[in-house]
Structure 1
Amino acid sequence: MTETPNPHIIDADTLTGEMRPIRRAVLSLGSNLGERMATLQGAVNAIADTPEVWVTGISPIYETDPVDCPDDAKTFLNAVVLIDTTLAANRLLDRALSIEEAFGRERGDVVNAPRTLDVDLIVVGDRRSDEPHLVLPHPRAAQRAFVLKPWFDLEPDAVLPDAGPISELLADLGMDGVRLCEDLTLEVE
């Protein structure tokens, strides 16, 4: 169904002439509870359905060993989604959290507990943030092969701000516990 814009609603940006820059953002997706593949596909679709967000790349899927998780945690499926967006980083974070909640993410007292869905903002343009609810670039991305490898597949020349080229970071970390799932793919549906 195609929606016709309401001609009686005036876009505030049109009134002010304010330009909102388009920023490249890197989102990391992970799931280790429930129907992992269906959850990741649903998250990709939800991201693509977000106003002012354009999906420009989806990495291959990797099955990864849990990192810093409780001993009984199961393996994750992980992927990276590249987007262009005019959303502010805080609004993008709000959207990521709402997508997690829509797929049954429950937050408790256990750090890195198993989860149906994790949507992390890795970078949003060159934005830096050190607020309690939003740290950019993501503070642990440089130590996570499950983030760096799928990102590397999409942008081998990418640089993680304040950390360096992702190719070098990945070479230092290695690929232990990160396995390509050749039979699984994600796409915007």
Structure 2
Amino acid sequence: MPTHKEQVYIGLGSNLGDSREHLRTALSELDSIESTRRLRTSSFYSSSPMGPQNQADFINAVCLLETTLPPHDLLAQLQGIENHHGRERKDERWGPRTLDLDILLYGNHTVATDDLTIPHYGLAEREFVLVPLFEIAPNMVMPDGKPLSNWVAKCSLDGLRRLRSSNQR
């Protein structure tokens, strides 16, 4: 087991069932992953769905983890949490889901395999990820060498709103 700790940003999203509760519970479950601890969590945000608009708005957040797990081992843990929440993997892209947990950034590492891409492939276009990420890491420099604030300034904030109560740390 590696002993080097990596800082990992996880995107959370849900638009089926009690989405706030799915996110709150998932955050607690992230705390129970071996060799991993949660350091910070953004507010919860409501966002319009990507893709098909005939679905409920999403509740999203981003959290910062510190872990010694390799990326694929962490992915397996995240998928286990998604499955525990009734996540069904369908061919439908951007469809409704009870819980979606994405590894956005894993330290300074790049991963490009069939089942995992880090940095997350859609990071630059997703205000529902960039805004909560900026909330917890305002001074972050992105993989392209530019400040996160530059990325946030370029994204549309239409349909995104911060929700009042959430589970923060």
Contact (CA 8 Å) 2:42, 2:168: kept in 1 or not? no
Give the Cα–Cα distance (whole angstroms) in 2 for the partners of residues 27 and 148 of structure 1. Answer: 11
User: Are 1:23 and 2:6 matched, yes or no?
Assistant: yes
Q: Which residue of 2 aligns with 1:10?
A: none
**Structure 2: stretches of 5+ with no match in the other structure:** none
State the 4+ residue runs in structure 1 displaced beyond 4 angstroms.
none
Across the two proteins, how many residue pairs are aligned to each other?
A: 169
Tell which has more relative contact order, 1 or 2 (C-alpha 8 A, sep 6+).
2
Change (3 A) 1:142 1:163: farther
**C-alpha displacement of 1:187:** 4.3
Q: Based on CA coordinates, which of the two structures has the bigger radius of gyration?
A: 1
Q: Match for residue 146 of structure 2?
A: 164
Pick aligned residue for 2:94 from 112, 119, 143: 112
Q: Residue 129 of structure 1 contacts residue 136 of structure 1 at CA under 8 Å; is this kept in 2?
A: yes
- Equivalent positions of 1:78-157 (< 5 A) are 78-157=60-139
Structure 1: which 5+ residue stretches go unaligned?
A: 1-12, 14-18
TM-score of the aligned structures, taking structure 1 as reference length = 0.86
Q: Which moved more, 1:107-116 or 1:158-167?
A: 158-167
Deviation of 1:163 after TM superposition, in Å, equals: 6.5
SS in 2 for 1:78: strand
CA distance in 1 between partners of 2:142 and 2:86 (Å):
30
Cα distance, 1:127 vs. partner?
A: 1.1
- State the partner residue of 1:186: 167
